[in-house]
Amino acid sequence: MTLVRRGKLDEAITALTEAIRLDPSDLWALKERASALRTKGAYVEAIEDLGRVIQLRPKDAGAWNDRCYTRAVAGKLEEALADCNESLRLQPDLPNALVNRGLTYLKLDQPARALADYDAALRLVPRSALALYGRGLAKRKTGDMASGDAESGGRDGTLPAGLGGLCGVRRNALSHTGLPRRRPAGR
């Protein structure tokens, strides 16, 4: 939706709420409002909208994946893991679901499982910046600092090339994985 892309989240949410009032089964409006709410940090409401989408289309792997990610960012990790697993049961080759489950495993302090999911995502999309970044974080958590630094942005924790355009929510989600912050050399 243009309003969301222009950062006019409140206006977008108002318009989408009206669309949903007129047609409570409007999947597009529910998904878009969930995205806007998530971007705004209103995770509970976003999860509710995605739950409604799942009620209407229980075999929508993308909706399960979106709710997985939203729950992971909100810190509802066990629920996120269940949603990711359902998404992957419905569509085993969905790279974003593998990335989001990897994120969930990182937050659950299970880096070996996260690494397996990021590797699986990279087999599907070899140049996925999110999977490479997540894999780097997982490698760092397992003690492979050199390889992890190479993939996750290095010792200063900056995002590698290709990730700079990510929305703040995604960037925050990947950066809050329990790894110690490192200062750049020379500071």
Q: What is the pLDDT of residues 118-159, one digit of tens each?
A: 999 999 999 899 999 999 999 999 887 777 777 766 555 555
Burial 120-132 (b: 16+ CB within 10 A, else e): bbbeeeeebbbbb
Q: What is the pTM of this model?
A: 0.81
**Least confident segment among 21-25, 68-72, 115-119, 170-174:** 170-174
* pLDDT-based confidence at residue 163 (cuts at 50, 70, 90): very low
**Least confident segment among 24-28, 53-57, 150-154, 173-177:** 173-177
Q: CB of 138 within 8 A of CB of 118?
A: yes
Q: CB of 32 within 8 A of CB of 14?
A: no
- Please state, as a whole number, how many other Cβ atoms lie within 10 Å of the Cβ of residue 160: 15
- Please state, as a whole number, how many other Cβ atoms lie within 10 Å of the Cβ of residue 24: 11
Residue 79 Cα distances to 71, 84, 118, angstroms: 7, 9, 20
Q: CB of 107 within 8 A of CB of 68?
A: no
Please say if the pLDDT value at position 186 is more than 50.
no
Q: What is the pLDDT of residues 43-81, one digit of tens each?
A: 999 999 999 999 999 999 999 999 999 999 999 999 999
- pLDDT-above-90 percentage for the chain: 68
Per-residue tokens: 4: 């969301």
Domain residue ranges of the chain, discontinuous segments joined by +: 1-58, 59-187
Domain covering 1-58: architecture: Alpha Horseshoe (1.25)
Domain covering 59-187: architecture: Alpha Horseshoe (1.25)
**pLDDT score, position 183:** 37
**pLDDT score, position 92:** 97
